[in-house]
Structure 1
Amino acid sequence: MLPRFSVVEADLFSLHIQFNNESADPISSVSFPLHERTNRIVMWLNQNFLLPDKITPANELDIKLLSLRNRSPLFIQFKPDQSQNLIIQTDNIELAGQIVQSIAAFLAIEDLEVTANFPEFIRELDEIILKVEEFNSVREKISAEMADHSNLIRSLLIRAEDCRLLGNIRDMKKAYSQLMELNHDLITGYKIRTGNHLEFLECLKIVNQAIQKSGRLRVGKPKTQVVNGCRNAIKNNNFQGLAKIIKTGKV
């Protein structure tokens, strides 16, 4: 059986090689405290990555890997004598989540909270959240306009019928002409609202995927807390707080 991270799943890494290139550091990372011996992490690395050479145990780890598929770097650092933090540096949040889940399973960790820093991911999420807020604003505005038009239509229908009963054909025609214009405006507003709603749902889908990716950076209760906190933020239209929860894990 091949190591877990030797075969590509979606956009994840396939084969990795070790390299030394200080200029290629990823800007994103996830870290968490880990009270384990270094050789346990080395064992996990050797079992889960298809590497040219086996990694040998040392007092600390500073492993630099490079994807042979897209040349993306992946750094794994563990210095038990200093911070006791395991640091995973990669700009691929999905890969980071899979690595966290794999390490937690290997070390039988039931609950794991992390510190996540994915600035590009958060920036893209902020843009989506801004669109969601704009769609919400447009939807509320169109709904209010459609409600006003509906009330005006009822009033014009009554006026047109009164004019018909009184034989006032000129004003009756005028009322029906206004009704046709309002009906056209209602149809146009409905089309805009439908298109807006479809884009709104697409943005929410992206936000939900971001929540799932963020959740996979944690294990156990912290994972559940992040997912539930994000969903509550969406339910309460607290989109600005959503990015904070994804980044810090704090509700």
Structure 2
Amino acid sequence: MTTIESIEERGYTNSYLADQHADQLARLRTLERVFDPLSQAAFDWLDLPRKPAILDLGAGAGSLAGWLSKQYPGATVTATDIDTRFLLDIPGIQVVTHNARTDDFPAASFDVVHARALLCHLSEREHILARAVRWVRPGGWLVIEDVSLQPSLNTANPLFRKVAQAGITLLEQSIGSDMLWAETLPGRLSAQGLSNVGHRTFEGRIGDNSPADTFWAATTAQAGPALLKLGLVTQDDLDAMINLRADPAFSDAALTFVSAWGQVL
């Protein structure tokens, strides 16, 4: 079997999820359609000053950062990413090229620090989480949202389980992702000393033509060449999975999205 190391350097920016991929913007748009309403709802729980300073860490294609700039008129919304190509044309935000692994911010810089679908993909996630707490002003909020793929491992369908496990293995080996980490988020925020910790969860399904189904399909299609190269699945598996998703009799839980927040006192 081909190894990860023989293909490319390990890490997000060299993976099939990186922004230079031809289909990445379209895939990120499917992610936004699933998760933006949930992220927006998380901000409803926060007591913010009239003109907050907000950091959207790893802002991706920027839809949430753009929404924040409209939702909080007068706010300073800083959107960061290691690759900012999709953020440059969004009005009302400040764009900063930033590597969450290595780049810092001064302590107490923001009223809110938000990260979505980011820390699960970074092996230094615990260290970054601790640093992000320091970036929040007293009375401010840390909002971490991430995806768990545990539901896809619980399926009774052997084909779906095989493809899901292959995707998790690819993410673990090529990026360093932990696709079960999200389920521990509330406890991890409490362990960081945050107060007023709260969370909400959302179950995303496949086979039902929902936004979550579209996101799952786009991500799996983008992963296809890497999955095949590593021998984690066959082309017959991928073709059969497409047919399974199209079967009106099939629908199953694929992911859990966890929104968690806590206040720095």
Q: TM-score, normalised by structure 1?
A: 0.25
Per chain length, whose mean CA-contact separation is higher, i.e. which structure has more relative contact order (CA < 8 Å, sep 6+)? 2
Q: Identify the structure with the greater helix proportion.
A: 1
Larger Rg: 1
Q: Identify the structure with the greater strand proportion.
A: 2
Q: TM-score, normalised by structure 2?
A: 0.24
